[in-house]
Amino acid sequence: MSDFLAMGGYAFFVWTSYGIFLTTLVLGLVLPALRRRALIKELRQAYRRAEARRKPPRNQGAEQ
């Protein structure tokens, strides 16, 4: 088992490449999901602002 993990003296390079690959794979899955969540939040806020601008203020007609 230790021979397998040592990779014939190239263990540092082999395991480093596996680590970089797995990190890239995880980031490739996680970052788009986080960006999607942030984008949905931004769009909801923009929609609420647009709706607030369209509606007339409340109780303004009652004062006249």
How many structural domains are present in the chain? 1
32 in a structural domain: yes
Q: How confident is the model at residue 8 (pLDDT cuts 50, 70, 90)?
A: confident
40 in a structural domain: yes
Which of 10-14, 17-21, 38-42, 56-60 has the weakest average pLDDT?
56-60
Q: List, in order, residues 6 or more apart from 14 with CB less than 8 Å away.
A: 7
Task: Give the domain range for residue 27.
Answer: 2-54
CA separation for the pair 50, 27 (Å, rounded): 34
Tens of pLDDT, residues 9-36: 888 999 999 999 999 999 999 999 999 9
